[in-house]
Amino acid sequence: METFSRLPNTKKQDNNKYRVEEISSLENFKKLRVLWDNLAGKQRRYMPFMCFDWFKMWLEHFLKNNKLRILVVYAGDQPAGVAPFILLRKKFKRMTVEKIELIGNVYSPVRNFIFGDLSIDEKKTCLSKIFDYLFCDSNDWDVIELGPILEEDKNSEILKQVILEKGYKTSEDFCGENWYLAGINYSAEEYVKKRPHGFRNSLRKRRRKLEETGKLDFKMITNNENIKKYMDCYYDVYARSWKKREGIGPTFHRDLAELAAAKGWLRLGFLYFDDVPVATHFCMVSDRVGYFLKVAYDEEYKEYGLGNIIHHETIKYMIDHDKIESIDLGAGSEEFKKFWVSDKREMKRIMVFNRNFKGTCLAIMTNKILPIIRRNEILNRVKTNLMKKNVYKQ
């Protein structure tokens, strides 16, 4: 494999223990399967989006002309952690930069390092080695973007601490929220009773109104049998929904369905009205957690609340059949989520700025100039107008 142990020669004994290996080709990435899944399996949380096959599929769809920069930390001969990075050129604060990011996009519920079951101190050591490596080889990047990272993971606090100790400028912001419900140890019937009374009444009335005009059925797909046909139905419903046509990965969920079915994670729900699919829900179940990824319904039936009806059926199925203990509705602050679950966690993003010219300029702009503009009403109005003009030119 490509690159080994460019670590500072400070603690000799420590450097003999730890080394960092960089993977920059897909061919060598594919050799990491066993190592990767051993670590991800110990980490458990968000396993479907941390496993090797998820990253392999994501890279096949989205890597394109970007560069792979996966860093593997070894403690002696044993793998201790993986930093799944890519290097890409893109706009940041209207400046074209070379940016290192954790692998992922809008289809990734979370982006994270893979550390297995390491303690906080061991994570800190691994992160220190990862950033020593990146900071020693700082000629090809201007900024590093880390996130969205779940606040409760404590990884964001460890990250900030490690980076600040090394004297690099950072910025931090909240980049979203994740609504969820944990501790489910009761039946689906009991779960529904815990929802707000007015919401339950509205859901029941709208469903009854729809059933007065035709037959309503629910079906859950969990395996690969006829998966092509069902994914055709999924995309057909999606095309009749209020959502825009998939732009960044029009076949991503088709491949994800096959992967999830093969691993036993797939929960692809359909709501049929007079034998025609009118709503669909793409979900997965792993380690007693139900992950809700995408929902769509025929806009013609909007008045009946099909989105909530299929949520209802899907959650009932997962609680009674899969015995899930947690519901994860993914990133986003949509109002409907608050009726189905009661808790939320913040998602953070940390930016790290290189000490080169672009990195220094962006650090000053992000931490000094933009906060002044935001606090000044006139300057903020000028900034907003400039952004609108740029949108119109595109």
Whether the per-residue pLDDT at 81 is higher than 90: the answer is yes
What is the β-pairing status of strands 78-92 and 67-75? antiparallel
Please, are residues 201 and 192 in contact by the beta-carbon 8 Å criterion?
no
C-alpha–C-alpha distance, residues 44 and 166, integer Å: 30
Whether the per-residue pLDDT at 9 is higher than 70: the answer is no
CA distances from 250 to 51, 188, 244 (A): 22, 34, 11
CATH number of the CATH domain containing 250: 3.40.630.30
pLDDT tens-digit profile of 313-358? Answer: 999 999 999 999 999 999 888 889 999 999 998 888 999 999 999 9
Q: Look at residue 331 and tell me if it is in a domain.
A: no
Q: Which of 287, 309, 324 is the last residue of a domain?
A: 324
Q: Look at residue 88 and tell me if it is in a domain.
A: yes
Same domain, 162 and 199: no
pLDDT tens-digit profile of 366-393? Answer: 988 888 877 776 655 655 565 444 433 3
Same domain, 238 and 218: yes
Q: Look at residue 304 and tell me if it is in a domain.
A: yes
pLDDT tens-digit profile of 277-327? Answer: 999 999 999 999 999 999 999 999 999 999 999 999 999 999 999 999 999
C-alpha–C-alpha distance, residues 369 and 333, integer Å: 29
Range of the domain at 197: 184-324
What is the β-pairing status of strands 326-331 and 289-297? parallel
Alpha helices in the chain (DSSP H): 12-17, 26-29, 33-43, 52-62, 120-136, 155-165, 188-193, 197-211, 227-239, 252-263, 306-321, 337-340, 357-364, 370-375, 377-393
Domains identified in the chain, total number: 2
**Entry pTM:** 0.87
The residues with which 216 forms a beta bridge, in sequence order, are 273
Q: Is the dihedral of CA 17, 32, 257, 227 positive or negative?
A: negative
Mean pLDDT in residue range 220-232: 96
Q: What DSSP assignment string belongs to 156-221?
A: HHHHHHHHHHTT-EEEEEEEEEEEEE----S-HHHHHHTS-HHHHHHHHHHHHHHHTTS-EEEEEE
pLDDT value at residue 249: 74
| Residue 314, Cβ density class (10 Å: 0-12 exposed, 13-18 middle, ≥19 buried) | buried
Whether the per-residue pLDDT at 241 is higher than 80: the answer is yes
pLDDT class for 244, splitting at 50, 70, 90? low
pLDDT tens-digit profile of 85-133? Answer: 999 999 888 889 999 999 999 899 889 999 999 998 999 999 999 999 9
Same domain, 129 and 200: no
Output the six-digit token pair for 87. Answer: 């290097």
Same domain, 380 and 290: no
CB atoms within 10 A of CB 227: 19
Same domain, 188 and 77: no
DSSP 153: G
Q: Look at residue 339 and tell me if it is in a domain.
A: no
Q: Look at residue 335 and tell me if it is in a domain.
A: no
Q: Which of 140, 131, 149, 139 is nearest to 352 (CA)?
A: 131
Number of H helices, E strands in the chain: 15, 13
User: Cα angle at 253 between 230 and 231, to 5 degrees?
Assistant: 10
301 phi, psi to nearest 5 deg:
-105, 25
Same domain, 240 and 318: yes
Same domain, 140 and 59: yes
Q: Look at residue 342 and tell me if it is in a domain.
A: no
Q: Look at residue 266 and tell me if it is in a domain.
A: yes
Please, are residues 74 and 80 in contact by the beta-carbon 8 Å criterion?
yes
Same domain, 167 and 56: yes
Percent of the chain with pLDDT over 70: 90
Same domain, 53 and 99: yes
C-alpha–C-alpha distance, residues 137 and 134, integer Å: 5
Same domain, 75 and 123: yes
What helix, strand, coil percent values describe the chain, rounded to 5? 45, 30, 25
Percent of the chain with pLDDT over 90: 70
Whether the per-residue pLDDT at 10 is higher than 90: the answer is no
